[in-house]
Amino acid sequence: MANVAAYLFLLLLSSGGNLIMVSGQRTWCVVKPSSDQATLLANINYACSQVDCRILQRGCPCFMPDNLMNHASIAMNLYYQSRGKNHWNCDFRGSGLIVVTDPSYGNCIYP
């Protein structure tokens, strides 16, 4: 039993202390509420240069509400999900937050 505990501890350390990775719970990446507008715009530009962000276009399910906080969270999550859901894929220079509550709303379904 001690070996199992030691293994889980090492697994926890190797995942950056992220219990979510150990438990297998679904996770999403969203913007920290304290992030400034310039950071949000930079996150959108970076994430959407790496992944398909068409879901954010006018008329698509995730366009509304049309604000940087919403669009950045969706773009960051698309990037995070596409890169294997590692905690470092949600860092975005300290402006990302991994959550266990599904941020989907209305017809906008976060993958």
Position 11 pLDDT exceeds 90: no
- Residue 62, classed as helix, strand or coil, is coil
Which tokens in the block code for residue 100?
């266990």
Position 109 pLDDT exceeds 80: yes
Q: Is residue 5 part of a domain?
A: no
The count of other CB atoms within 10 Å of the CB of residue 28 is: 22
Between these two residues, 89 and 4, which has the higher pLDDT value? 89
For residues 16 and 88, the answer to whether their CB atoms sit within 8 Å is: yes
Q: Is residue 12 part of a domain?
A: no
Position 39 pLDDT exceeds 80: yes
Amino acid identity of 60? C
Number of domains in the chain: 1
Q: Is residue 52 part of a domain?
A: yes
How much is the mean pLDDT over the chain? 84
Q: Is residue 8 part of a domain?
A: no
For residues 96 and 32, the answer to whether their CB atoms sit within 8 Å is: yes
- pLDDT value of position 24: 74
* Closest C-alpha to 74, from 55, 87, 93: 55
For residue range 54-100, what is the model confidence (pLDDT) as tens digits? 999 999 999 999 999 999 999 999 999 999 999 999 999 999 999 99
Q: Is residue 54 part of a domain?
A: yes
Residue with tokens 């954010």: 56
Q: Which domain holds residue 53?
A: 25-111
Which tokens in the block code for residue 102?
């599904």
Q: Is residue 7 part of a domain?
A: no
Q: Is residue 19 part of a domain?
A: no
Q: Is residue 61 part of a domain?
A: yes
